[in-house]
Amino acid sequence: MAEQDGEKTQETQDSDIDISVENSSEEQKETVNDTIRKQRLTMSLSIEKISKDLRISKTYVQAIENGNYSAIPAEPYIRVYVKTIAEYLSLDSDELLKRLSQERNNQRDTDLNIPVKSMADIIGETKAIKISQDNRNKKFAITGGLIIFLLVMAYFLANGNQRNVSQNKTDDFTETIIHDEQLPSDSTANFLPDSLLRGDTILDGKEATPPIEMQLRVLRDSSWVQIASDGVFQRDKIIRGPSKFVEVSAFDSINIHVGAWKVVEINVNGKTVDKTNATGVWKFTKDSIKVLSKNDWDRIRRISQ
């Protein structure tokens, strides 16, 4: 009898362990979107209420719950929306964002489907790369030596000619030196006012008003906005709508890149910008409004850092 009780106790413990392992496995397999959906249902909240309270499109809230991240315009939106919804549902947003990054990285690795190479293949490729690099290094060494030789020869030739020219002009230069006392008392041609040295723009003794004035606001949902004014990068952030106007002025040009440009209102010098053929990238000058490509923006971003 005692032996039978012992066997039952052991079986009960084994069963408890199996259940614990299964539960732990289920928790590990639970994705970020599953966690968000489960918590929403636990709190008896509808997708419509979350969308209305957080001012996030219902389509995006539903996409996050379904794990359909491709329906969201850009990667920054995904992280912002997940963080916002998690905090609204009283979840640990930092922990969810870490899991989200891991899930996204795992998905990318799966999509790439990179074949595993054998050690022999890796060694063979390494040797081939080393031989190719050695050959390139030899060519670079020969070419570099030739260039250095030509530069040295050019330097000596130029230096010799410069000495002859300097010797011929020494007397004339000595005779044309102007001393300070020879300048007229009202001479200001060779001097800049302090205001220009500080970088201020002066017209007729007054600070000039920038000829380009832009106003931008998000009407609903949210959009990320990047702005470069006169070649200087000014702003890179997500703006939630409805928002107040963001005002930017410039003397030469204003370049902007807008994510969800359909929900954004843009005014330049008091006129609303037509978005019929928009790409989300514009260049505003005093006399023109140009629609640019994403490649144009990448170039503007590089030179405006």
pLDDT digit string, tens, across residues 33-77: 999 999 999 999 999 999 999 999 999 999 999 989 888 988 889
CA atoms within 13 A on the CB side of 88: 21
Cut 0.75: pTM above it: no
pLDDT in tens, 254-265: 999 998 878 899
Statement: residue 3 has pLDDT above 80: no
Distance CA 66, CA 34 (A): 8
Distance CA 83, CA 170 (A): 74
What stretches of 89-118 show up as alpha helix (H) in DSSP?
Answer: 93-112
What stretches of the chain show up as alpha helix (H) in DSSP?
Answer: 2-29, 32-42, 47-54, 58-66, 75-88, 93-112, 119-175, 194-198, 294-303
* Domain 15-112 fold: 434 Repressor (Amino-terminal Domain) (1.10.260)
Q: Which residue has the higher pLDDT, 300 or 64?
A: 64
| Span 18-28, average pLDDT | 46
Statement: residue 220 has pLDDT above 70: yes
Distance CA 235, CA 263 (A): 18
Q: Are strands 212-218 and 264-268 parallel, antiparallel or unpaired?
A: antiparallel
Q: Say what the pLDDT of residue 111 is.
A: 57
How would you class 61 by CB atoms within 10 Å of its CB: exposed for 0-12, middle for 13-18, buried for 19 or more? buried
